Amino acid sequence: MKLLPADTYVDGVRAGDRAVLARAITLVESEHPKHAGLAQEVLTKLLPHTGRSRRVGISGVPGVGKSTFIDALGMHLVGNGHKVAVLAIDPSSSITGGSILGDKTRMYRLARETSAYIRPSPSSGTLGGVARKTRETLLLCEAAGFDVVLVETVGVGQSETVVADLVDFYLVLMLAGAGDELQGIKRGILEVADMVAINKADGDNLPRATRARAEYRAALHLMRPGAEPVVTTCSAMEGTGIDTLWASVVDVVAKREASGELQHRRTQQQVGWMWAMVHDGLRAALRAHPEVAALVPVLEQAVREGRATPTSAALRVLGAFLPQSQA
């Protein structure tokens, strides 16, 4: 990868140059140690130009039509004068490590819009499919002038709650008539969701979607009394309910902004991001430590065979990594 001077990245991103934005994102996603310093210099210079977008996370059960929904929502937003960035976190290929779902082909209308930018990104096996560099990519898109950033995650499950630490508003898409809807998703998702939207509320499925909305409202009233998320229906295919859905997002975020909750949330997220990077760095350093690397296979085998407890093995790893400590 041919690197540019830091100011060239900064000026290009600020000017909305898509080619430079793409190269800046590639830079911050790079795992090469020599690229890290330049990436952080670029991000630091762009930081004053970030924070002005609405950040919305979108998850959903398999088959719910996330990409079709984002395509419809994105077209609605673009049609109303917004600039929309979509960070689509794909499962990583086990062979190449790259994205495998091809989001641009699934968001075919939005991909052609000059006011939209779609960036597939491999999850790289990170918790909940949220790529480690998604935070920095989000900041780059904000600095490039995108006022709505949609973060689409791989699927739905306990680990997907990680996305709530990236965004201002968290939307979970559900299906009606799929059977045991409330049993089919993790409780943790509903504990952090700001909205549950039943998609495919059209044709013969409309009555089922309407019933599902009432069922979710009742269940969430019991689960989160006094803090129930918005529950609505929509049809991404027909484009119905999208305007009402987005109006609810805007209303909730505006109230949080007026109360100071939004700023507090983002401040806490920044600190959380810092510690997440510290933890990532420590894990990488631990794995790369020569003595630890030699010791781990021996200790893993001892744990498998019952010759060592997991705790004693862990203490030996820590002792090798931090010999001066009392680990």
3-state SS track over 281-315: HHHHHHHHCHHHHHHHHHHHHHHHCCCCCHHHHHH
Weakest mean pLDDT among 10-14, 181-185, 197-201: 181-185
pLDDT of residue 129: 41
Q: What is the mean pLDDT of residues 93-105?
A: 47
Q: Which comes out higher in pLDDT, residue 177 or 2? A: 2
Q: pTM of this prediction?
A: 0.86
Buried/exposed 138-157: b ≥16 CB within 10 Å, e otherwise: bbbbbbbbbbbbbbbbbbbb
Res. 12: pLDDT tops 60 = yes
What DSSP state is assigned to residue 99?
Answer: B
Res. 210: pLDDT tops 50 = yes
Q: What is the dihedral of CA 218, 224, 226, 228, to 10 degrees?
A: -60
Q: Please state, in angstroms and as integers, the Cα–Cα distance from residue 220 to each residue in 153, 214, 217, 307, 327, following that order.
A: 22, 10, 5, 48, 44
pLDDT of residue 246: 97
Q: What is the mean pLDDT of residues 247-272?
A: 95
Neighbours of 319 (CB within 10 A): 16
Do the beta carbons of residue 176 and residue 212 sit within 8 Å? yes
pLDDT of residue 187: 61
Q: What is the mean pLDDT of residues 183-212?
A: 83
pLDDT of residue 160: 62
Give per-residue pLDDT as tens, 133-160.
888 999 999 999 999 999 988 665 545 6
Weakest mean pLDDT among 38-42, 117-121, 241-245: 117-121
Q: How far apart are CA 37 and CA 136, in angstroms?
A: 14
pLDDT of residue 324: 61
What DSSP state is assigned to residue 235?
Answer: B
Q: What is the mean pLDDT of residues 234-250?
A: 95
Give per-residue pLDDT as tens, 26-80.
999 888 888 989 999 999 999 999 999 999 999 887 788 898 999 999 999 999 9
- Dihedral over Cα of 49, 54, 59, 63: its sign: negative
Ordered domains of the chain (ranges, CATH) = 1-49 (1.20.5.170), 51-258 (3.40.50.300), 272-321 (no CATH)
Quote the mean pLDDT of the chain: 86
Nearest 5°: CA angle at 260, between 254 and 265? 90
Res. 132: pLDDT tops 70 = no
DSSP-assigned states of every residue in 118-174: EEEEE-TT-GGG--TTHHHHHHHHHHTT-SEEEEE-S--SGGGGGGGGT-SEEEEEE
Res. 176: pLDDT tops 70 = yes
Res. 234: pLDDT tops 80 = yes
Res. 89: pLDDT tops 60 = yes
Q: How far apart are CA 188 and CA 237, in angstroms?
A: 28
Beta strand 169-174 with 148-152: parallel, antiparallel or unpaired? unpaired
- Dihedral over Cα of 223, 242, 88, 34: its sign: negative
Element (H, E) at 59: strand 54-60
Beta strand 84-90 with 116-122: parallel, antiparallel or unpaired? parallel
Do the beta carbons of residue 323 and residue 295 sit within 8 Å? no
Weakest mean pLDDT among 84-98, 130-144, 274-288: 84-98
